[in-house]
Amino acid sequence: MIQIPREGSDGRPVAAPKAVVRKLDILRKAAAAFRDRGYAATSVRDIARRAGMTPGNLYYYFRDKQEILYFCQDYSLDVLLREARRIRRRALRADEKIRALIRSQVLCMLDELRGSAGHIEFHAISRPRLRRIIEKRDAYERIVRAVVKDGIREGRFSTCDPKLVSLAMLGAVNWTARWYRPGGGRTPEAIAAAFADYLVRGLRR
C-alpha cells in the first residue's frame, strides 16, 4: 500500500518522503494515460514517458502495468474512504453530510487520480487484488447508504430505497470522470456544487 502523507502528532501535515511523491506522480500520469488511450492501449513505456523517466526507472517503483492500475484504484479509494469516514463522524445533519460526501467524491474523481476509483477494470486485475478493491468500494457505499438511512430516520429525507438512491448518487458522480475535460467550462468546484444541490434536493421531504 502506498503510504498517504498524514498529520504529525502536532496536527501539522508531515511532508511525504520523496519515493511516495514519485509514486503518486507516476499514478497520476498513468491515470491520465489510461483515460486518454484506454488501459489496453497504454504501455509502461507511455507512462514512463509522461512521468519523464525511463521504463527501467519506473520498474523500480512498480512491477508492471497491472500493478500501476491496481495502485491507482487502491490509492483513490483510500482517499475517498478516509474523507467519508471523517464526514460521517462530524456533527452535521444528514443532508449536510450527503452534500459533503458528494463534494468530496466529485473533487476526488476530477482532481485526484482522474476517476480511477470509479472505473474498476474488473478484467485487468487479479482476483485477490480485485477483492480488496471491491471491499473498499463496498465500504464507501455502505457509508453513503448509512447517511441516507440516518436522514430518513431523522425525518429529513423522504422514504425511499436507500440502496437504489445511493447507487443513483454514486453513478452520477462516478460518471463525471467519463465526460469531464479540464478547461471545459465548468470547474470541479462548480460541478461539485451543482451535483450536491441536485442530488440532495431529491432526498428531501
> Which residues of this protein are in contact with a copy of itself, per CB under 8 A?
37-38, 40-41, 121-124, 158, 160-161, 163-165, 167-176, 178-179, 186, 190-191, 194-195, 197-204
Identity of the amino acid at 173: V
> Least Å distance between CB 160 and a copy of itself?
6
Reduced to 3 states (helix: H, G, I; strand: E, B; else coil), residue 157 is strand
Minimum distance of a copy of itself from residue 2's CB (angstroms) = 26
Which three cell numbers mark 40? 489496453
Q: What burial class does residue 18 get, using C-beta atoms within 10 Å of its C-beta: 0-12 exposed, 13-18 middle, 19+ buried?
A: exposed
User: Of the two residues 38 and 55, which places its CB atom closer to a copy of itself in the complex?
Assistant: 38
Nearer to a copy of itself, 89 or 127 (CB): 127
Cα→Cα distances 7→4, 21, 100, 105, 136, Å: 10, 16, 21, 21, 22
**Minimum CB–partner distance for residue 98 and a copy of itself (Å):** 12
Q: CB–CB of 110/195 below 8 Å?
A: no
User: Cα(114)–Cα(170) distance, rounded to whole angstroms?
Assistant: 15
- Measured from the CB atom, the residue of 54 and 187 that comes closer to a copy of itself is 187
Distance in Å, CB of 63 to a copy of itself, minimum: 21
Indicate the residue among 43 and 57 with the shorter CB distance to a copy of itself: 43
Least distance from a copy of itself to the Cβ atom of residue 4, Å: 27
CB 49 within 8 A of CB 4: no
Instruction: Give the residue with the Cβ less far from a copy of itself, 58 or 162.
Output: 162
